[in-house]
Amino acid sequence: MKNTNNKKPIIFSDVDGTIYSDFNLQTNTIEDVNFAIENGADFNICTGNPVEERMLSLCAALNAQYLIGSSGAQIYDINSKQIVKSWTISFDSLTKLIELAKKIKCQVLFWDNKNYYYLFDDFSVVKKISTYHFITEEKLNNTPKLYNNEFIEPVKIEFYSTESTEDESYAKNIYEHIKAIDTVSMVQTSSNVEISPKNVNKGFAIKWMMENIYSKAEIKDIMTIGDSNNDLSMMPITNYSYAMANSSQKLLNIAHFFTSAVEQNGLGEAILDYLYRLKNIVKKYMLHNFSNSKGDK
């Protein structure tokens, strides 16, 4: 089979629930990402997590080019090891949100490009959530600081129930209490409420990258993939958007294509599907999938 065009495959993938579950990076996922890179693709990570230890380690494991962190508010160049663009939430907006958090007794995590804070002196939720951001005990125990009214314009704020981070009803309740703050953007997920700079999300960051970094490529030809409500903004911007089988219903409703669950290497399967659709690239063991009983392609 021959490539049908000179289009460059560009992939933007979510992390938790897409690349892996419980930090278990499967060998076949690594192999399929590497296959894409060997065939000219750029693999980029697009996550709600900050540009911190765990995501930087994952980028190294998957040979990523760029890391979109904090649900679109940070764009990090892996090769130059620097944040090339970021957007922030005003200190005034943060102050208003903290006042509400104190009323409804929510734990709040927030950070900028250098600092990482939590609101209440209860480290249990902080430790659980920050394991998604840090790996080593040193980072886990020393990076998050108890907030003491320092001036900060965060790139992201996350509200968590102190009762449960597993029951979506708690996140819904939090959202109802804080949604009136209209100087920021909010997304309620299954576990929390994510707060970003106004109009900033993963799709927004990808559009910025396509205009400023991948200006020779067309956004309709890129691949986006995710599973959560904070991935919704990535779905309509391209012809090759994929929802994991474990996705939220909202995401399943708007994605162009569907793939297997995260435990079944859904990301790898979607990447191979994208390469075939975009450039007629096929991994050898997949050839039978594109043939019928008559031997026709």
Task: Encode pLDDT of 229-238 as tens digits.
Answer: 999 999 999 9
CA distance 47 to 246: 17
CA distance 150 to 127: 21
Q: Is 265 helix (H, G, I), strand (E, B) or coil?
A: coil
Averaged pLDDT score across all residues of the chain: 94
Percent of the chain scoring above 90 in pLDDT: 89
Lookup result for tokens 């209440």? 120
CATH for the stretch 10-86+201-279? 3.40.50.1000
Query: So what's the pLDDT on residue 286?
Result: 56
pLDDT tier at 297, thresholds 50, 70, 90: very low
Angle at 28 between CA 23 and CA 34, to 5 degrees: 100
**Token pair in block for residue 178:** 């804080």
CA distance 75 to 78: 10
- The ranges of the chain annotated as CATH 3.40.50.1000 are 10-86+201-279
Taking domain 91-197, whether its CATH number is 3.30.1240.10 is answered by yes
CA distance 43 to 61: 11
- Average pLDDT of the residues in 215-237: 98
Question: For residue range 2-35, what is the model confidence (pLDDT) as tens digits?
Answer: 667 999 999 999 999 999 999 999 999 999 999 9
Angle at 161 between CA 160 and CA 163, to 5 degrees: 145
Query: So what's the pLDDT on residue 295?
Result: 37
- The ranges of the chain annotated as CATH 3.30.1240.10 are 91-197
CA distance 10 to 234: 13
